[in-house]
A and B are shown apart, each in its own frame.
Chain A
Amino acid sequence: MYSQMISMPVWVTLRQLYSITASLVLLLAVSTSVSAQTARKDAPECSTVVEGLHPGMASASLMHGLVNVDRCPERGPVALARIWEAPPSDTAALETLGNVTLSVRDVRVIPAIVKTLDNSSMPRSIRLAALGTLVRLYSPDHVVQFKQRQGKNTTDQIYVLMGEWSHPVGDDGASPITQVDRDRLLAVITRCSQSNSDPGIRSAASQVLVRLGVGTR
């Protein structure tokens, strides 16, 4: 994070003091008003943004179309949910889709991602991307990436590369994820670790739970 240099004058006149006090009162009023709002509003260009997103669209077009979804907390998650029902197959587009989903964290996108995670006809890479996104919706401080072991003595094991942000990133959508939703997300991840049809995905989910401090190896 970057702080910016502060050079306060040492002497503050009475008039300046009055001005500062008035500003503080105004700031307090504004902040109270802002905190009273439940969610952010869509930017004017959001109609164009969401109309440009279609399930099954080419990865390059999709990545371009996802750029401004973070400015659309109301309609963006709905459009993202549609994309998650038929997600792209290449890893770069999947990573961007996951990141953009985290930029408007919204409960409305969760069912589509869970459906993808549970869809055994989907490629493993897509289902792992769904799992990683659900993990980050559960714990926005974390990032996660899955890797397959290579070389001799290989098995079906998937390794989890997990980490933390230097500072919080992303924002809430119009329907933010509540503690109840987080509990449900944890239940989904736990169920995945126990009963997903892909043993590699089950293992990955188990490792994630351990790293989140809610599971055992």
Chain B
Amino acid sequence: MRKNFGRLFPDSSYRPPGLGRPLVWLAISVLSIGAVVGCKGDLSTKPRSVLIYPARPMAVSRDLVLGDGSVAPGELIREVNISYPVDPDSVADANEVLVLPGEYDGPVVVEFTGSFALDNGTIPVSDVMRDGYVMWYSDQDMLLSRRIDLILGDTAANGDTHYLYLPLEIASDSFQVVSTRDPGKGLIVHWGQAVANTLGQYPGGSGSYSPTCAIMLSFLCLAAPPHDSSYISTTPPVGTIRIRAYKGSAVPSISVSCTPSPVERGQEVVFSAVRDGGGPLPTISEWKFTSAALSAPIIEPTSDTVWSGIVATSGEVTVTGTLDGDSVVGNGQIVVQARDWGNDTVRYEVVPKDQTGVLPVQPTKVGHLGATANVGDLIPLPEEHEQITSGPQSGVWYWLHTPVQAQSWIYINRAALQVNSDFYLLQPATYTAPDSCLQSDVLPFVPLVEAHEGLHLETDSHAEVFRRKLNELVPPVAEPVVSLGIPQDLDAKTATETSAAILQAQLYAKDSSNGGVVLPVPYCYFRYF
């Protein structure tokens, strides 16, 4: 198991290589003695700096990228081996040339290999090269920190050097970075080490001083590690790093072009396998389309460099083949956009229904004078869906039109709302009280009931509100649904999407007193008993 020997400055910044020199460190140490009390005081009143690994994202250099296989190492230019610890009394740091200015302008693959051994663990070279990485160890009960510097830099002929941070995110004993530089520039690696003593014994015991702030470096305070042996080695780090610089050469690759993209659902696209950078076309063996909307990839073994057909859903295209004898894989993407279904409405009709069993001949409340049942569901007609039969999305089902059918069943209590019915005769013939209905008010109420229910789709009726809300909610959720296989799968997926929209429209079209938006009809009061 790897140990947490290393820690990061909580807010470290790049330290120029010159800071690795012994005299500089001596000066820093002297200054630190005077500054540590203030630093400790700060820590006691503020939240202690948290040295969680990694403390902050690495600065990604615009000139260095981790090797991703797109550039292969070719001819070896130079190899450097650096061993630690370095005797600080002889030499603390130096620059090693990997590529001389003007020697080679192409991409350089730099390979770092090695690790550092401590008493109970190892630290891979990738961790050591993280910005601000410090290893802790104890020597004769004194806590010491050791910082290893391995920094790449590009150099101009006049010696100007631009140092490059490594965008490291993984722990590895060996890794490659690719350097692309301006023409005429070389490449160096700066190496060095910095050793600093802490201000007391470690681990802390009775009468000993347990440092909470070990080093004052400029305005940075490097907090001591926890009093835990897993963080502290009893031996200094020892290791050798091998650095190799290779001429990089681009690996032949292919990609997929898609025309047009984006494309509207139901239209044809053409995928073409092309060689990156131009040149002879690859030899293709297979095309594959994958999409999160489909239950399985669509694979077509073929030697065609073009794959075309109607598409219904977005996804990724992968082409496999060979290029100059090497196996290659190219990728592309198709973005499918929704069709405008603003006029592709739900199939809808108003259905007048017989009142028997729903509205009693002798009503006992106003709700017995009329009612509407708004129904709807996924009931597709055969011509409303289509299956793609060839190309990248062969076998995919999609909708050509909104596959939902809806009806408003309208019930009017005509048995009660007629002359000489029991209900009619229950009403007074002449004036009795303000707001009370008379027999003469019975028949005029019929068109008001019809308009409220929406027998002729009157505005803001139960029926009209339902249809309007359906057409607002349902087509957008049905339009993008696709499936692979049998049409029943398309139905099932679509029903899941549309049922919520239909229910929402049904609730919306209820009476305002029943959770919907349809307002009551202002009228006089009928008698029911």
Contacts and interface: CB of A to CB of B under 8 A. Distances in A.
B169 interface: no
Contacts of B376: 161-163
Contacts of A170: 357-358
Contacts of B487: 153
A68 B361 contact: yes
A168 interface: yes
Contact of B378 (A63, A154, A159, A163): A159
Interface in B365-391: 366-367, 369-383
B208 interface: no
B360 A151 contact: no
A199 to B, nearest CB: 13
Nearest to A70: B360
Nearest to B526: A4
Interface in B22-62: none
A4 B511 contact: no
A15 interface: no
A163 B513 contact: no
Interface stretch (A98-106, A117-125, A176-184, A190-198): A98-106
Nearest to A101: B357
A169 B525 contact: no
Interface string B418-448: 0000000000000000110100000001001
A34 to B, nearest CB: 12
B478 to A, nearest CB: 15
B511 A167 contact: yes
A4 B435 contact: yes
B507 A2 contact: no
Interface residues of A, number: 52
B358 A99 contact: yes
18 contacts: A1-B511, A1-B514, A2-B449, A3-B523, A71-B361, A96-B354, A102-B358, A143-B373, A150-B382, A159-B378, A162-B375, A163-B376, A167-B513, A167-B514, A168-B367, A168-B514, A169-B371, A217-B496
A157 interface: yes
Contacts of A129: none
Contacts of A58: none
A166 to B, nearest CB: 4
B375 A161 contact: yes
A71 B356 CA distance: 12
A167 B507 CA distance: 10
B379 A166 contact: no
Contact of A163 (B359, B374, B491, B526): B374
B510 interface: yes
Interface in A134-187: 143-145, 147, 149-155, 157, 159-170
A5 interface: yes
A166 B128 CA distance: 72
Given A1-B511, A143-B375, A164-B510, A71 B360 contact: yes
Interface of B: 354, 356-362, 366-367, 369-383, 405, 407, 409, 434-435, 437, 445, 448-449, 452-453, 462, 487-488, 491-492, 495-496, 499, 503, 506-507, 509-511, 513-514, 516, 518, 520-526
Given A150-B382, A161-B405, A166 B371 contact: yes
A3 B375 contact: no
A5 B435 CA distance: 6
Contacts of B449: 2
Given A67-B356, A153-B487, A166 B509 contact: yes
B437 A4 contact: yes
A48 to B, nearest CB: 14
Contact of A161 (B379, B448, B523, B524): B379
A161 B506 CA distance: 12
B379 A4 contact: no
B524 A5 contact: yes
A43 B496 CA distance: 46
Given A3-B520, A147-B379, A149-B379, A166 B358 contact: no
Given A103-B358, A151-B381, A1 B496 contact: no
Contacts of B496: 217
B358 A164 contact: no
B516 A166 contact: yes
B357 A143 contact: no
A2 B377 contact: no
Contacts of B370: 2
A128 to B, nearest CB: 15
Interface in A84-123: 92, 95-103
B433 to A, nearest CB: 11
B373 A161 contact: no
Contacts of A144: 375
Most buried by A among B356, B435, B513: B356
Contacts of B357: 66, 69-70, 96-103, 170
A68 B382 CA distance: 42
Interface string A28-70: 0000000000000000000000000000000000010011111
A7 B522 CA distance: 11
Contacts of B523: 2-5
A14 interface: no
Contacts of B359: 169
Nearest to A211: B499
Contacts of B380: 149
A6 interface: yes
Contacts of A149: 379-380
A7 B435 CA distance: 7
A96 B357 CA distance: 6
Closest 6 CB pairs of A and B: A99-B357, A163-B375, A151-B382, A100-B357, A3-B520, A4-B525
Interface string A1-35: 11111110000000000000000000000000000
A163 B506 contact: yes
